[in-house]
Structure 1
Amino acid sequence: MFTTPAVAAYAAAHTSPPDDLLADLAEETHRLVGDRISMQIAPEQGTLLTMLVRLSGARSAVEVGTFTGYSSICIARGLPADGRLIACDVSEEWTAVARRYWQKAGLDDRIELRLGPAADTLRAMPAGESIDFAFIDADKPGYPVYYEEILPRLRPGGLIAVDNTLQHGDITDPAAGGNVPAMREFNDLVARDSRVTSVLLTVADGLTLIRKN
């Protein structure tokens, strides 16, 4: 979204592609939601999530915003066999698709779906530093709440990845509406937070990586 189409296509062509299962899931999601397919992460983001989970050595992960399950599969694939991902979402309809693909991927034993408001799910989790990796990709005004609930539960050196932090490039437009003001507020919150080290990457619609100090 922040480069020419030719450069974006080149980058995608030189990134390890999704396998047939993820491609099938993306195709089914597209049939179900049409133009709202942007709610699903880009294939290169999925590859990056799997890589980040593996590189971090994460065993315990949390996802806020599951949709049809593409990102949860990518995260769970990066976990060891005894790893665990807690997937938080409010939609029974979309997560029913996710459940089918978790089973097809052989990952349903390491992904636990918790339906309900994610803030409530996170608050109900133990207060100790037990999370190694988290991914936030849900309602944008809720990002600060999810962040503040996850961070105290994240181990030192743990990683949070946050999606859509550039808002199609509109993040620098002071007149932009929609989710842009909420995302700008969240980005400022992270940037001034002395508890973490962060970098905002121009991957897909913007992906911020946040490491707990």
Structure 2
Amino acid sequence: MNMDEDTTKNWKEVNMPNPVILNSQKLYQYILETSVYPREPEPLKQLRDATANHPQAFIGMAPDAGQLMAMLLKLVNPTKTIEIGVFTGYSLLLTALTIPDHGKITAIDMDQEAFEIGLPIIRKAGVQHKIDFIQSPAQPVLDKLLEDTDNEGSFDFAFVDADKGNYWNYHERLVKLIKVEGIIIYDNTLWGGSVALPEEAVPASKRDWRSSTIHFNTSVSMDPRIQIAHVPSGDGILICRRIY
């Protein structure tokens, strides 16, 4: 094999189809083992382990995306946050561990049972007092918050990992609730890489949310109220900073 053939072979191996956005399981594992897992707080590791046997464990927040979010939380230093989509609580616990002791999180999810998987670990970590869990669809809760004008611009930070078809509806409400200079993070915005594939190459079960995600990404990219950074971490996270 000549040099050109060897280079082509290696390039194809690195870029082989793979569920992670990096398109290389080995490279992704390297990042996790070198930079993420050694610094992951023990309660988060315990919660990740507790979630591992759940039939939908794959929808939990990717640890590398969580590490980035923790850094952003430290930079913003929020005291009032909102989370849409809790699942077993990895991102919720991460936020609770990171914000000040007097900080508060409004956490919204319809699945109380999944949340209770992580609740004992949250309690053991001593941060349950920071969390107001609301079992409900998110949109009515956001609308209720906006009925009180004092809530407008009062949240410092938001994280969204819920039904992709409603991301834009959530965005329109969150931009009003988040203060200027506040941060909103949306998870799964690259949807397994399917956003860059033709529709016929995507399994039928993933096409609706792929379409919703593409529409959302396009809409957010044209929203003048925010500054954005689209990061290929985990399954893709879209970071928005409100600028007015």
TM-score using structure 2 length: 0.83
**Partner residue in 2 for 1:110:** 130
Match of 2:216 in 1: 186
Separation in structure 1 between the aligned mates of residue 77 and residue 50 of structure 2, nearest angstrom:
31
Which residue of the partner structure matches residue 32 of structure 1? Answer: 54
Deviations 1:113-171 (A, max 9, x none): 01111101111113321010000000110111111111111100000010000011110
CA distance in 2, matches of 1:122, 1:83: 19
Equivalent pair of 1:69/1:101 in contact (CA under 8 Å)? no
What is residue 143 of structure 1 aligned with on the other side?
Answer: 167
Cα distance in structure 1, aligned partners of 2:132 and 2:110: 14
Greater shift in the superposed pair: 64-73 or 167-176: 167-176
Alpha-carbon distance in structure 2 between the residues aligned to 1:19 and 1:131: 25
Contiguous gaps of at least 5 residues in structure 1: none
Partner Cα separation in structure 2 for residue 54 and residue 103 of structure 1: 22
Aligned residues: 211
Which has the higher mean CA deviation after the structures are superposed, 169-178 or 70-79?
169-178
1:32 counterpart SS class: coil
User: Does the CA contact (< 8 Å) of 2:50 and 2:118 recur in 1?
Assistant: no
- 1:155 aligned residue (176, 179, 200): 179
* Amino acid corresponding to residue 178 of structure 2 in structure 1: L
Shift of 1:13: 2.3
Query: Distance between the aligned counterparts of 1:5 and 1:67, measured in 2?
Result: 25
The alignment-based identity, stated in percent, is 28
Aligned with 1:159: secondary structure?
A: strand
Paired AA for residue 132 in structure 2: E
RMSD: 1.3
Matches within 5 A, 1:32-111: 32-33=54-55, 36-111=56-131
Alignment match of 1:2 (pick from 17, 21, 30) = 21
User: Following the alignment from structure 1 to structure 2, what is the Cα–Cα distance between the partners of residues 20 and 74?
Assistant: 11
Matched residues in 1 for 2:25 and 2:119: separation?
34
Aligned-partner residue type, residue 170 of structure 1: S
- One-letter amino acid matched to 2:50: E
- Classify the secondary structure of the residue corresponding to 1:187: helix
| C-alpha distance after superposition, 1:23-67 (max 9, x if no partner) | 22112212232xx21110111122222211111121111000000
Q: Secondary structure at the match of 2:105?
A: strand
Q: Which amino acid aligns with 2:212?
A: A
Runs (4+) of structure 1 exceeding 3 A deviation are: none
Task: Compare CA radii of gyration and give the structure with the larger one.
Answer: 2
Aligned residue for 2:129, secondary structure, equals coil
- The correspondence for 1:129, drawn from 146, 153, 177, is 153
- Which amino acid in structure 2 is aligned with residue 209 of structure 1? I
Q: Which amino acid in the other structure matches residue 43 of structure 1?
A: P
C-alpha distance in structure 1 between counterparts of 2:33 and 2:49, whole Å: 18
CA distance in structure 2 between the partners assigned to 1:96 and 1:2 by the alignment? 30
One-letter amino acid of the counterpart of residue 192, structure 2: H
Question: Which moved further from structure 2: 137-146 or 22-31?
Answer: 22-31
Do the aligned partners of 2:159 and 2:186 also contact (CA within 8 Å) in 1? yes
Match of 2:233 in 1: 203
Partners of 1:69 and 1:156 in 2: how far apart? 27
**Structure 2: gaps of 5 or more residues:** 1-19
